[in-house]
C-alpha cells in the first residue's frame, strides 16, 4: 500500500503572486511548479481556445496557474504550444514553448524536464491547465512529499498534480499522449499518494465549462 500524506483544502483557492521564487518552509530543495497548457483542446468547439475561455471571470488556464503560484514554490512555469496564452499568464511566471505539442503530452513533459534541468531544480510538481478547481494546498502538499513520485488523490482517485523528483526524470515517457501515469504504472514502488481536497475536474468541452462555471 502506498503511503499517504494529507492536506487541507484552500477555500480561497486564489493565490497571491508575490510568493513566486520563495521556497516553501519544509521543502529543503529547489522545487518548481509546472502547468501543462500546450494541447489543442480539440473537443472544445467554442470560438476561442478552451484555455482562454472565460471561467468565473478569468481565462480558464489562469486558475491553474494561480493555484500553482499560490503553493509558493521556487519557480512557476507554464508549457504552451497550440495557443498564445500570454494574456492569461501572470507576471513572474515563465512561459516555455513546446514546438512539438501536437505529438502528445509526453513532449510537454520532456519540455518541462529540459527547463527544470537548465534551472537546476531538484524536482517539479506538474499539473494541468484545464483543471481550474485544484487548490494551491494540493500543489503545496504534493511538493512537500519526500517520495520520488508523489501524486494527489481526491476521494481516492489519483489525479494531478504530481511531484517528480530529478531521479525519475529519465524514466518519463518521451513520446505519446500519456505523461507521468506511464511511470506510475511501471514503477509503483516509487509512488506515494497525497490525500487532498478539491475538485480535479477537467474542462474538456463547452458542457463542462457551463457546468462548473
Does pLDDT of 40 surpass 90?
no
Q: What is each CA distance from 179 to 10, 30, 162, 185, in whole angstroms?
A: 26, 22, 10, 11
State the total domains in the chain: 1
Q: With the C-alpha atoms ordered 122, 184, 106, 10, is the resulting torsion angle positive or negative?
A: negative
Q: What is the pLDDT confidence band of residue 184, given thresholds at 50, 70 and 90?
A: very high
Residue 212 phi, psi (nearest 5): -100, -5
pLDDT of residue 144: 96
Does pLDDT of 80 surpass 90?
yes
Strand partners, 128: 36
Nearest to residue 197, comparing CAs of 127, 136, 146? 136
Whole-prediction pTM: 0.85
Q: What is the pLDDT confidence band of residue 178, given thresholds at 50, 70 and 90?
A: confident
pLDDT of residue 45: 79
Q: What is the pLDDT confidence band of residue 24, given thresholds at 50, 70 and 90?
A: very low
Mean predicted lDDT score pLDDT of the chain: 87
SS3 category, 39: coil
**Secondary structure string (H, E, C) spanning 67-134:** HHHHCCCCEEEEEECCCCCHHHCCCCCEEEECCCHHHCHHHHHHHHHHHHHHCCCCEEEEEECCCCCC
- 49, 82 Cβ separation under 8 angstroms: yes
Does pLDDT of 62 surpass 60?
yes
pLDDT in tens, 96-121: 999 999 999 999 999 999 999 999 99
Q: What is the CATH number of the domain that holds 158?
A: 3.90.550.10
Domain with 35 in it = 4-212
Least confident range of 19-33, 138-152, 199-213: 19-33
- 107, 100 Cβ separation under 8 angstroms: yes
Least confident range of 3-12, 25-34, 193-202: 3-12
Number of residues assigned to the chain: 213
Does pLDDT of 208 surpass 50?
yes
Nearest to residue 32, comparing CAs of 17, 16, 20, 43? 20
Give dist(CA 154, CA 173) in Å, integer. Answer: 25
pLDDT of residue 25: 43
Does pLDDT of 126 surpass 70?
yes
Does pLDDT of 26 surpass 50?
no
- 196, 131 Cβ separation under 8 angstroms: no
Amino acid at each position: 500500500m502506498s503511503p499517504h500524506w494529507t492536506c487541507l483544502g484552500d477555500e480561497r483557492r486564489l493565490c497571491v503572486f508575490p510568493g513566486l521564487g520563495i521556497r516553501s518552509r519544509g521543502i529543503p530543495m529547489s522545487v518548481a511548479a509546472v502547468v501543462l497548457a500546450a494541447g489543442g483542446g480539440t473537443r472544445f468547439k467554442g470560438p476561442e481556445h478552451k484555455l482562454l475561455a472565460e471561467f468565473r471571470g478569468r481565462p480558464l488556464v489562469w486558475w491553474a496557474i494561480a493555484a500553482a503560484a499560490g503553493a509558493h514554490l521556487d519557480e512557476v512555469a507554464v508549457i504552451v504550444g497550440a495557443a498564445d496564452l500570454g494574456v492569461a499568464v501572470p507576471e513572474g511566471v515563465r512561459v516555455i514553448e513546446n514546438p512539438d505539442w501536437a505529438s502528445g503530452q509526453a513532449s510537454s513533459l520532456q519540455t518541462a524536464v529540459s527547463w527544470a534541468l537548465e534551472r537546476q531544480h531538484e524536482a517539479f510538481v506538474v499539473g494541468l491547465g484545464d483543471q481550474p478547481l485544484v487548490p494551491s494546498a494540493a500543489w503545496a502538499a504534493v511538493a512537500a512529499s519526500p517520495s520520488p513520485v508523489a501524486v494527489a488523490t481526491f476521494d481516492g482517485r489519483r489525479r494531478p498534480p504530481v511531484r517528480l523528483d530529478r531521479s525519475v526524470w529519465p524514466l518519463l515517457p518521451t513520446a505519446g499522449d500519456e505523461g507521468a501515469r506511464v511511470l506510475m504504472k511501471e514503477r509503483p514502488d516509487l509512488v506515494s499518494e497525497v490525500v487532498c481536497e478539491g475538485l480535479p475536474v477537467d474542462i474538456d468541452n463547452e458542457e463542462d465549462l457551463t457546468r462548473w462555471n
